[in-house]
Amino acid sequence: MEWLNYHHLLYFYTVAREGSVKRASEVLRLAQPTLSGQIRKLEEALGERLLEREGRGLKLTPNGHLVFEYAETIFGTGQEMLSALRSSPSGRPARLVVGIADVVPKLIAYRLLETALDGKEPVQFVIQEGKMDDLVAGLAVQRFDLVLTDAPLGPQSSVKAFNHPLGRCGVGFFARADVAESLDGRFPACLDGAPMLMPAMGTRLRRSLDRWFERTNIHPRLVAEIEDAALAKVFASKGRGVFAGPMPIERDIRATYDVELVGQTDVVTEKFYAITAERRIANPIVTAIAERAKTAIFE
């Protein structure tokens, strides 16, 4: 019986899906020469060329298309098997591997996941934080069951994954008591000239805040642009400025970081999504998380 090296097949599948060795090497976290060498070994084992150069990129040969189709079926079936095992009652805790985009507030992430911890069946989480692109790429190669993020996967994405909206909410503006008391006027006018801790440029919340400030003719004083939402809250707890946070966790924010609510608006909103490799969520733990989000956390 001939044996197929499935590691080599996965490398080929990823290169074919991503369209280049460079991009696939980033997804797989392998050096480009190593990746190219492994694919050559697969071609040698099969006795067929699978990829050929086309300009600066690569394209599939006719046999490459055939192998890619089989690989897609193989790895899709593997993902279904992992999901079934992780959610099956076997006396051991079900295992859920979750990727959380670093822009998602930690308290929101906890509120979303705690429903699984409070369920009847024990659950073991494996949680990794990172950039959305990296997490979704990991989802494509079955490293994650679920990715939580504040923005949907765009139609231009090369990764086959599906968006599941969890909900939306308005935002509040928070500051330490002495900073809040120093703000002049009623909300939102009191934010004009206020020391502001803003999300990083390019994030969905930052764009929404910038538009709102422009429409209301409010010009806060930018103290810092902070990518990590938790770090912005720490800055605020030390009296360094005002930050925006989702209203469903208002009480948690005030209690955890010793800050006060300056005001709130439903014009600026945050949205949250679960991204999975499945069009319809099959994992009962993920289903429970999504249902809790829609009924008990967000609008």
Over the stretch 1-26, which tens digit does the pLDDT of each residue have? 467 888 888 888 888 888 888 888 88
Q: At what angle do helices 106-117 and 284-292 cross, to 10 degrees?
A: 130
Asked if residues 176 and 237 have their Cβ atoms less than 8 Å apart, the reply is: yes
CATH of residue 162: 3.40.190.10
92 exposed, middle or buried (CB, 10 Å; 0-12, 13-18, 19+)? exposed
- Judgement on whether residues 172 and 213 belong to the same structural domain of the protein: yes
* Mean pLDDT, all residues of the chain: 86
- Judgement on whether residues 159 and 276 belong to the same structural domain of the protein: yes
Query: Of 50, 31, 32, which Cα lies nearest the Cα of 40?
Result: 50
Residue that is last in its domain, among 53, 74, 95:
74
Rounded Cα distance between 95 and 173, Å, is 36
Number of domains present in the structure of the chain: 3
Percent of the chain exceeding pLDDT 70 equals: 93
- Assigned domain for 1 exists: no
pLDDT at 1: 41
Residue 33 has pLDDT above 80, yes or no: yes
- Judgement on whether residues 125 and 114 belong to the same structural domain of the protein: yes
Longest dimension (CA), the chain: 80
Q: For 225-283, how does the pLDDT look when each residue is reduced to its tens digit (9 = 90+)?
A: 998 888 999 999 999 999 999 999 999 999 999 999 999 999 999 999 999 887 777 77
pLDDT at 85: 58
Residue 151 has pLDDT above 60, yes or no: yes
pLDDT at 159: 73
pLDDT at 271: 92
Tell me the average pLDDT across 136-145. Answer: 82
Neighbours of 126 (CB within 10 A): 12
Alpha helices for the chain (secondary structure H):
6-18, 21-28, 32-46, 62-87, 106-117, 132-140, 177-182, 204-215, 229-237, 250-257, 284-292
Query: Of 142, 170, 156, which Cα lies nearest the Cα of 247?
Result: 170
Q: For 164-211, how does the pLDDT look when each residue is reduced to its tens digit (9 = 90+)?
A: 999 999 999 999 999 999 998 999 999 999 999 999 998 899 999 999
Run of H or E residues at 172: strand 162-175
Asked if residues 60 and 108 have their Cβ atoms less than 8 Å apart, the reply is: no
Tell me the average pLDDT across 118-141. Answer: 83
pTM as predicted: 0.66
- Judgement on whether residues 194 and 148 belong to the same structural domain of the protein: no
- Judgement on whether residues 262 and 286 belong to the same structural domain of the protein: no
pLDDT top residue among 223 and 11: 223
- Assigned domain for 226 exists: yes
- Judgement on whether residues 250 and 278 belong to the same structural domain of the protein: no
Q: 232-235 — which CB contacts under 8 Å span 24+ positions?
A: 232/197, 232/199, 233/174, 233/257, 233/259, 235/197
- Judgement on whether residues 157 and 280 belong to the same structural domain of the protein: yes
For 142, the domain range is 84-167+272-297
Give the DSSP per-residue string, 105-128: -HHHHHHHHHHHHTSSS-EEEEEE
Residue 83 has pLDDT above 70, yes or no: no
- Judgement on whether residues 174 and 163 belong to the same structural domain of the protein: no
